[in-house]
Each structure stands twice: as C-alpha cells, then as structure tokens.
Amino acid sequence: MGKALIAVALAAGLWAMPAAAQKGDPARMVDIAHPEEVVKLLQSEGYKAELKKHEDSGEPYISSAANGSPFTIEFYDCGTAKGCTSMQFFSWYKKKPWYDAGLANRWNAKKRFLRIVIDKDGDLSTWMDATTIGKVSYANFADTIDWWSSMTGDLFTFLDEEEKAAGGKK
C-alpha cells in the first residue's frame, strides 16, 4: 500500500507535502489536538478529509469516508491554545426495520472500540473516542485510523449477516 500511495502522490504532484513526506517515520510525534493537523495526517494515509465548522457551535469537525461510507471526526473542548482535548469518529445510518436494541447489544458485547446505538428514531449511530491531549506517535495515530476503518468494515459484515437473519427485511 505504501508504494501505491507514493505513486499516487507523485502523480498528483503532492510529493512535497510535509505530512506525506514524513509518513515513513512511525516514531515521529504528531499533535492531534489541532484539527488542521489531523486533516493532513488523514490525507497522508490516503483519506479525503475536509475541515469544517458546526454552524451552531463553531466547533471544528472533519468530513471523510472509509469503506465507501461517510464519517466525521468531531473535536471537543477546543477553547484553549493547546487545542482540543478529545475527538470522536462518528457515522450514522438510516433506520432499517431490523435495527433494534438487541442488534446493538450483540455488536457491543463482542466489540471493544467501535460502539453502536439505535436512537429513538431507529437510526444506527457508530462512534469511537480518542483522547488528543499530548502528542502521539504517527504509528499510534495511523493505528487509530486503521481501527476505525477495520471496525466499520466488520460492522458492515455484521449488519449484512443480521439482515439475512432477519429475513432480508428492507
């Protein structure tokens, strides 16, 4: 995957971008308390990432996608010069007839990092929290992104199996 990413970056003329140029050092420390840095890190891992602000609160968030599904990274307690204190990977899926509390319980009983809940409208939400205080190694951040991507892939497989077990209700 690394060679493919380098080839894509060279073809796009992005080889001079600092985050991508430094990707090779897994021990490099990165400051993920600043959303603009997280955007660069996501992009260096091959994700599309756009920094936005919530209209009501002004809090920053990142819009991205994994496994063909959109997600956001929400940032919390961003009022200091040191940056935000935590972030949450989040995605939401429209109600299906077979979404229920039992489905969420079956998933959450076996999975540690990615949590799901069915809201009052029957929609499914997923999230994974991470602290952003202090610097982390690039390898740690890349692993966090990989966990999110891997777990959402597992979730899609789980949901397909659950739909089949429910008799394919649409």
The two beta strands, 86-93 and 69-76, are antiparallel
Would you call 132 exposed, middle or buried from its count of C-beta atoms within 10 A (0-12, 13-18, 19+)? buried
Q: In terms of residue numbers, what domain contains 34?
A: 24-165
CA angle centred on 86, ends 76 and 134, rounded to 5° = 130
DSSP annotation of 91 reads: E
pTM confidence score: 0.80
pLDDT at residue 170, rounded to an integer: 56
In a domain, 115, yes or no: yes
In a domain, 135, yes or no: yes
pLDDT at residue 15, rounded to an integer: 35
In a domain, 48, yes or no: yes
In a domain, 7, yes or no: no
The two beta strands, 69-76 and 60-66, are antiparallel
In a domain, 95, yes or no: yes
In a domain, 97, yes or no: yes
Q: What is the CATH number of the domain that holds 157?
A: 3.30.1460.70
Closest listed residue to residue 50, CA positions, set 32, 68, 38: 38
Q: How many domains does the chain have?
A: 1
- Residues in the chain, pLDDT under 70: 1-24, 168-170
pLDDT at residue 58, rounded to an integer: 86
In a domain, 16, yes or no: no
pLDDT at residue 13, rounded to an integer: 37
In a domain, 8, yes or no: no
